[in-house]
Structure 1
Amino acid sequence: MITRDLAAFFDIARGLHADFGPATARAAFLVAPDGFRLAEQSASDNRYMAQAAGFDAARASEQHRALHRALSQVVPTVCFAGDPQAPDGLFPNNVFATAAGRYVVGRMRHPVRQREAEREDIRAFFAGVLDYAEIDLSTQPHPCELTGALVIDRARGIGYCGLSERCDEAGAALMHEALGLRATLMFDLAPGEYHTNVVLAVLAGRAALVAPRGFARDEVARAIAEFHAPHAVILSDAEHRAFAGNAIALSDDAVWMSADAARALAPESRAVLAGAGFQVRSVELDAIEAAGGSLRCCVGEVF
């Protein structure tokens, strides 16, 4: 089922067991920030991006390597070379996503990002090395920027899809089908928000980070938080601005976010995460955040 109806969606979600599949990925993949600079097309609908002078390519590369080292302590983590002609390429989770036995290639809104979907080395890794079947959505007309637009509770097999210029209803339906989800809730993001994973994170099926300011309708944010209670963190505006919602769990005992996000996290928010069994782990990513994304945006998951 894919719907905008809150009651219908949560009626189904409440009846589901956490038996859809592993709650966290078995591996991760990154793309190095080679050619890191302002992508003007992306900046047209990403208010989080810095001006061109705010981009420090050397520092971004150093921080990205530190992220790779950190995540490799938790799961096997592969890093592909970057493409200097694809300055947003360090955010591969928008372009490639996986489910059991298959990988999905998304349709990016901006031409500067559409070239990322043409990466034959990444496609060959999934198809040739992992022997995953391909579902290629990149050539159809509807934007569907995968796990940027669609936040997935992998344990239950449900999705939360925020609609914006980066994903329309048809694109949401294509992702829902391609990833084989049991149910997906569609809703509008607030004006100025471009991706759901900046305002919502579901952590190993056990907890959620919710930034109400990022939703067009407060009742949607409230319903998601209520569903994941008592382990739902309602992020303040300060936590939201610091990318605390752009977090990920790659194991059942830790949530990863940028160091700035971790510093902004209120004691009450930390307490909720601790109650769910999560330690907060972080990496300095301020240079990367100049490009309008944070830690979760950098991480592609292999299921």
Structure 2
Amino acid sequence: MITRDPDAFLALVRTLAPDAGPATARGVFLVSPDGFARADESARDNVYMAQAGFDAAAALAEHRQLHQALSAQLPVVAFAGDAATPDALFPNNVFATAPGRVIVGRMRHPVRQREAQRADIRGFFTDVLGYAETDLATQPHVCELTGALVIDRARGIGFCGLSERCDAQGAALMHAAFGLRATLVFDLAPGEYHTNVVLALLAGRAALVSPDGLATPRAMLDVLAALYGPHVVVLSAAEKLAFAGNAISLTADSVWMSQGAAAGLSPASRRGLAQAGLGLRSVPMSAIEAAGGSLRCCVGEIF
């Protein structure tokens, strides 16, 4: 099922067991911020991107620290960056996986469309891991993968926010490509570019959500409460701006976000994560965040 009807979505999802697959990835991949700079095309619809002050050396140092920190939890593969693709440090929008499959997304801006042409990343998944490839990059409907589509892998369900970075047909293509059981499609609030800045689903049992990032927040809050019960952490506007919603669980007992996002969490939000059994882990990412994304955007998952 793919639907814009929250009631129909919830009626189906309530019948689903969390047996679609593992809740968290078995490995991750990163792309180094070589040539880190402001991507003017992407800045047209990314309100989180800084106007100036891009520090390439600081971004590289932060990215190395992220690599080292994540390596303590699971295998990490890192690809080189390219000055011609300054947004490539956010690879989850372009490449994503489901068990045995790699999916290549259709990016909105030409500067990001170039990332999808990388033979080394495609070859790693197809030739090294032996994954089948679903290539959405050449069709006309924008679908920026796990930027636009937030997935509960255990249940096999998705939440897809529409914006200039994903249209309705793109949502349907991703629903099929990921093999999801159900996807709820909804509108992001004006000015929001990616769902994963305002919503995170954590280890199949908790959620972080920013209501002011959603066009119709009440309906989403009701759905999340029905699925994740007391483990829905509602973020304030300030927490969202600090990138607290751009978080990810890579093990069953932890949640990762940037150091700035963690510092900006309210006591209530911290308690909510702790009550869900998720230990908070963070690394500094202030230089990287100038590019309009944070920790979750840097992490591509390998299922």
TM-score, normalised relative to structure 2: 0.99
Cα deviation, 1:140-191, whole Å, max 9, x if unaligned, reads 0000000000000000000000000000000000000000000000000000
Structure 2 distance, partners of 1:56, 1:220, is 40
Aligned to 1:54: 53
Cα deviation, 1:183-242, whole Å, max 9, x if unaligned, reads 000000000000000000000101000000000112233123313221000001111110
Structure 2 distance, partners of 1:218, 1:262, is 23
Q: State the identity as a percent.
A: 69
Residue 219 of structure 2 corresponds to residue 224 of structure 1: no
Within a 5 Å distance, the mapping from 1:147-186 to structure 2 comes to 147-186=146-185
Do the aligned partners of 2:6 and 2:223 also contact (CA within 8 Å) in 1? Answer: no
Structure 2 distance, partners of 1:134, 1:40, is 30
Do the aligned partners of 1:225 and 1:234 also contact (CA within 8 Å) in 2? Answer: no
Structure 1 runs (4+) greater than 4 angstroms displaced: none
Within a 5 Å distance, the mapping from 1:1-303 to structure 2 comes to 1-51=1-51, 53-227=52-226, 228-303=228-303
Cα deviation, 1:55-87, whole Å, max 9, x if unaligned, reads 110000000000000000001001100011000
SS of equivalent to 1:54: coil
SS of equivalent to 2:192: coil
- Equivalent residue letter for 2:288: I
Per-residue deviation at 1:10?
A: 0.6
SS of equivalent to 1:162: strand
- Equivalent residue letter for 1:231: H
Structure 2 distance, partners of 1:220, 1:209, is 15
TM-score, normalised relative to structure 1: 0.99
> How many residue pairs are counted as aligned between the two chains?
302
SS of equivalent to 1:230: helix
Cα deviation, 1:256-280, whole Å, max 9, x if unaligned, reads 0000000011111111111111000
Cα deviation, 1:87-108, whole Å, max 9, x if unaligned, reads 0000000000100110100000
Per-residue deviation at 1:54?
A: 1.6
Structure 2 distance, partners of 1:211, 1:190, is 11
- Equivalent residue letter for 1:190: A
Structure 2 distance, partners of 1:155, 1:232, is 17
Structure 2 distance, partners of 1:71, 1:13, is 31
Structure 2 distance, partners of 1:197, 1:229, is 20
Structure 1 distance, partners of 2:26, 2:150, is 18
Structure 2 distance, partners of 1:144, 1:186, is 13
Do the aligned partners of 2:141 and 2:167 also contact (CA within 8 Å) in 1? Answer: yes
Structure 2 distance, partners of 1:61, 1:164, is 30
SS of equivalent to 1:229: helix
Structure 2 distance, partners of 1:158, 1:93, is 18
Structure 1 distance, partners of 2:240, 2:150, is 16
- Equivalent residue letter for 2:125: F
SS of equivalent to 2:256: strand
- Equivalent residue letter for 1:181: L
Do the aligned partners of 2:6 and 2:220 also contact (CA within 8 Å) in 1? Answer: no
SS of equivalent to 2:196: helix
Do the aligned partners of 1:86 and 1:116 also contact (CA within 8 Å) in 2? Answer: yes
- Equivalent residue letter for 1:101: G
Do the aligned partners of 1:60 and 1:287 also contact (CA within 8 Å) in 2? Answer: yes
Structure 2 distance, partners of 1:240, 1:220, is 19
Structure 2 stretches lacking a partner, 5+ long:
none
